[in-house]
Amino acid sequence: MKTALVTGITGQDGSYLAELLLNKGYHVVGVKRRTSLISTDRIDHIFGNIEHTMNFDLVYGNLNDSGCLHRLLLEYKPDEIYNLAAQSHVRVSFDTPEETTEYIAMGTLRLLEAARNICPEARFYQASSSEMFGDNPNIPHNENTRFAPASPYACSKVYAHYLMRNYRESYNMHASSGILFNHESPRRGETFVTRKITMAAARIKLGIQDVLYLGNLEPKRDWGFAGDYVEAMWLMLQQENPDDYVIATGKSHSVREFLELVFDRAGLNINEHVKIDERLFRPHEVPYLLGDPTRARKKLNWTPKVSFKDLAIMMYESDLKNINKGVLI
């Protein structure tokens, strides 16, 4: 049985990846930071499956603690490492640039060093981001597109991305990076714009809320489904040789389009319920991101399954159901 260590296990991607790996017969070691709040809601269902529970260990760890990382790798000797942990909110990175950089950039370095010294044969996946391309006008973006990061979050991801390439070339590690474009799901964090929209639409539909405040509606993103994207992560580590891959749909849509799809599904009038708040604008907004997943399609035989429209409806229907049941407030 293979063992996979996954940082960021309680996040959106971590929860979907844990499901995929457990279904493939892995022993999964999920690493989470210690907090005073319960943050396991995305993975609680795993403990309801006896077979999965037997093959799933949830442990405390922190990318800022080298000793902790060494201990975990010594104890579990993973065959695969998936580094998904991050301060993942672009807007928040402008408010907490040091914390964002410390956790993403230096945290990745600490984990790579621990792996190099303790289990150098382990295959290592790093969650890179489309935000690294920033303002580069050469569309669509592929693995050779020049990075032009436009936020502390993106700058940190670029550093981590180049570390992966350096360790791959310098130490012959099987280190691969997935340059993932926006990927959403019903498990997306509630502060991200897609969930803000779907939750608000559901609450307005149920008469709980009246107005949704949003920032800039014009940025265009390449939106996909997180459940599809974690499969690409796994596929990267099954290849004979490591590499970097853009994971995207190859189609771009604006925040406004997402809003229109959700409100149309809910039968709501945008003009009556949505107001623009300039305080929610980013200091530096990237206007347009579009990925070219050709390499992933050809080398990994990977293609996204869920469409933009189906994704928006899936998220809205999930929030409507959960708020109606009292699972969400």
Contacts for 286 with CB less than 8 Å, ≥ 6 apart: 131, 133, 134, 135, 150, 219
Nearest one of 211, 218, 214 to 257, comparing CA atoms: 218
Residue in 131, 177, 184, 231 annotated catalytic: 131
Show the 3-state SS of 59-107: EECCCCCHHHHHHHHHHHCCCEEEECCCCCCHHHHHHCHHHHHHHHHHH
CB 125 within 8 A of CB 176: yes
C-alpha dihedral, 231 to 69 to 74 to 22, nearest 10° = -20
Looking at the DSSP bridge assignments, the partners of residue 5 are 29, 81
Residue in 129, 151, 156, 318 annotated catalytic: 129
**What are the distances in angstroms from CA 289 to CA 17, 25, 32, 64, 177?**
25, 36, 30, 31, 18
CB 326 within 8 A of CB 209: no
**What are the distances in angstroms from CA 201 to CA 78, 259, 308?**
42, 9, 17
Task: Tell me, yes or no, if 131 is annotated catalytic.
Answer: yes
Task: State the Cα–Cα distance between residues 39 and 9, nearest whole angstrom.
Answer: 10
CB 83 within 8 A of CB 186: no
Task: State the Cα–Cα distance between residues 62 and 33, nearest whole angstrom.
Answer: 6
Contacts for 230 with CB less than 8 Å, ≥ 6 apart: 13, 16, 17, 20
Centre a 10 Å sphere on the Cβ of residue 78 and count the other Cβ atoms it contains.
24
Residue in 76, 125, 153, 229 annotated catalytic: 153
Structure tokens at 171: 């130490």
Task: Tell me, yes or no, if 153 is annotated catalytic.
Answer: yes
> Which residues are known to be catalytic?
129, 131, 153
